[in-house]
A and B are shown apart, each in its own frame.
Chain A
Amino acid sequence: MSKVKVNFPRFGSYNVAVRHIIVNGLGVDYVDAPPITKKTLEIGAKYSPDFVCTPFKYQLGGYIEAIEAGANTLIQVGGACRLNYYGELHEQILKDLGYEVRFVNMANADFSKPLTFYEEFKKIKPSVNLKKITSAVLLAVKMVEVIDKVEDYIRENVGFEVVDGSFEKLHKEFLEDLKEVNDKKELNLIAKLYMSKLKRVETNKPKNPLRVGIVGEYYTIMDEYSNHYMEKELAKKGIIIERWMNVSNSIFHNYVKEIKQSIKNYAKYDMGATSMYTIKKALDYAKDNFDGIIHVKSFGCTPEIDTMPVLERISEDYKIPIIYFSFDTQTSDVGINTRIEAFYDMIMMRKEKKIK
């Protein structure tokens, strides 16, 4: 086989961390898929079952675009919902389409036995060094934490920047510099540098700005193309956005037991995937007197559909407005913007009334 070129589906800003594992841990090439566009979704939807969740379509489109860009080894992960079957189905569809690629499906590995991941990595490169890959994965985890910290800060402040685009520019530079990081020391330097740069960006925050919490399904909430740049739209209106859902919080700092305990008045059983987190965070935002909550999911996401009656109860108990968005392959923003605008007007009017 020719030189190994690995691709992992585009996912938030995290590809830079995946790249580190591939390049520095395995010592093989990494190919990023081009940024998601309408074309990605068109290709993905064309070859996907119609009723599969939307992230599946984005990722299939992304794989095909990555193959066209030179990738020949594709990685997929597993999860606690239909995501666990993505890999198998993606592999089959690509095979049927005649693409000759190697498919490495991490869904076959077991989180409780880290060595099983090592077995999967071996499929990419048989001579993989256990020590090297372990240290690369550990650094990648730290990278993800830094990314999440930076993005949390941006979400909280980007709506109030004095010069338009200041935060976005820094964010881009940060991700570029992150690519060059080789060890923990360099990572700490970059983290420090950019946190101080971010803190120096001039903002004009009013005393008591609107605060909105976003909850919902894993992929759609984190992929800005999938949610039609919702966070940007909200920020433009001068809103502080809080999103707990990210990789650090949901995977690395997982505290499922406490979550289940704290939402037991609302949900007795785990409904799978992100459902418990969604309920927990909606409850937290409600208790913390947020002005509103936005729930996002891809069309037909079963665990998140199951949370909706619970969210309605939280909304009623705490008198907090919640708006629901379901995204499929539609590409017009008009209907979405109308609803966001109306949501903004509503929470603004409520706030004004409260202040009076």
Chain B
Amino acid sequence: MKKAYMGVDIGSISTKGIIIDEDNKILASEYIWTEGDPIGAVKRLISILKGQFNEKKYKVVGVGTTGSARKLIGVILGANIVKNEITAHAIGTLSLYPDVHTIFEIGGQDSKIIIIDHGIVTDYAMNTLCAAGTGSFLSSQSKRLGLEVEEFGEMALRSKNPTNIAARCTVFAESDLVHKAQIGHKKEDIVAGLCKAVVNNYLNNVGKGKKISAPIVFQGGVSKNVGVIKAFEEATGEKIIVDPNSHLMGALGVAILSKKAPEVSFDFNIEDVTFETKGIECKGCANNCERICVYKDGELIDAWGNKCDKGAIKVKAKV
């Protein structure tokens, strides 16, 4: 029986899973929508991965989780490592592009930049408070234009004269877009302008003050958009590398990290297990900490969210 490692990246918009062998070769992978239900998404994800995976030949001995729901899903899957998405993305990308200098990552709700020097993260930034220049901005604008977000990129490439669209803020961008459409700008020019707006916003906010140098790897859901890739190439004057598995880098990174953690024995059969979370307000003081309790088949397996010991919820036995 050979050893295998699973990585799960649960973002606000999509949930990504990967299983690799000891040489980081991908044995199974999947990308599905989170749809506001991380537990349900992970259950679906695991059963899909199970279908792709040869359980006779391999045994999953490491499970890592990353992404904004990493803690919750880490408990549910019994992960041996839970890592933030910045580190996970860096490790995943480095495994494929050891000499990468800059990682652009644009996801559904957030975007980040990671600067790497000789295989070590030396600087990073994440967007703050605002969804401008992220995937959700592009998808809401494509809806407004009556387009599927998937056809967005190709259409942008057809433009010869991209429309200028204010990039600072989604609210401004949206009214700018509406005005330009109404005075007769071509749809493909507007679409190309939006791609440029996302790139400018990214470089002016997340990328501000960062030393951007080649090789540059671009990932996250938005890296599938060829219009944005082209806009990045024009803005940086460098070639932008997009891996065919660019959407899986976080999951890959955390799967690799799980190799170093103490081994676990992962069971794919979580479909029939019910996981429930309950928010319980602590009445200990006026802070009213919202504590999250996680139950597996009715039994409390973990809890968090309290700021002080007064609100601590004791879990009897760790599963």
User: Which residues of A are in contact with B by a Cβ distance under 8 Å?
Assistant: 34-35, 37-40, 165, 229, 309, 312, 315-316, 319, 321, 326, 328, 330, 334-335, 337-339, 341-342, 345-346, 349-350, 353
Contacts and interface: CB of A to CB of B under 8 A. Distances in A.
A39 B122 contact: no
Contact of A342 (B86, B209, B211): B86
Nearest to A309: B209
B129 to A, nearest CB: 8
Interface in B81-100: 83-87
B87 A35 contact: no
B274 interface: no
Interface residues of B, number: 23
A349 B120 contact: yes
Nearest to A347: B121
A38 B286 contact: yes
Contacts of A229: 307
B287 interface: yes
Of B68, B84, B126, B285, most buried by chain A (CB within 10 Å of CB) is B84
Nearest to B67: A338
Interface in B273-314: 285-288, 307, 309
A345 B288 contact: no
Interface of B: 68, 83-87, 118, 120-124, 126, 128-129, 209, 211, 285-288, 307, 309
A241 to B, nearest CB: 19
Nearest to A343: B124
A346 B124 contact: yes
Contacts of A37: 285-288
B131 to A, nearest CB: 13
B286 A345 contact: no
A224 B287 CA distance: 14
Nearest to A40: B286
Contact of A341 (B84, B118, B122, B288): B84
A321 B114 CA distance: 12
A322 to B, nearest CB: 9
B120 A350 contact: yes
Contact of A39 (B68, B87, B128, B287): B287
B69 to A, nearest CB: 10
B287 A346 contact: no
B209 A312 contact: yes
Given A229-B307, A346-B122, A350-B120, A39 B85 contact: no
B286 A338 contact: no
Contacts of B118: 353
26 contacts: A37-B286, A37-B287, A37-B288, A38-B286, A38-B287, A39-B288, A316-B211, A321-B122, A338-B68, A338-B85, A338-B126, A339-B84, A342-B84, A342-B124, A345-B83, A345-B84, A345-B86, A345-B87, A346-B86, A346-B120, A346-B124, A349-B120, A350-B120, A350-B121, A353-B118, A353-B120
Nearest to A315: B123
A34 B287 CA distance: 11
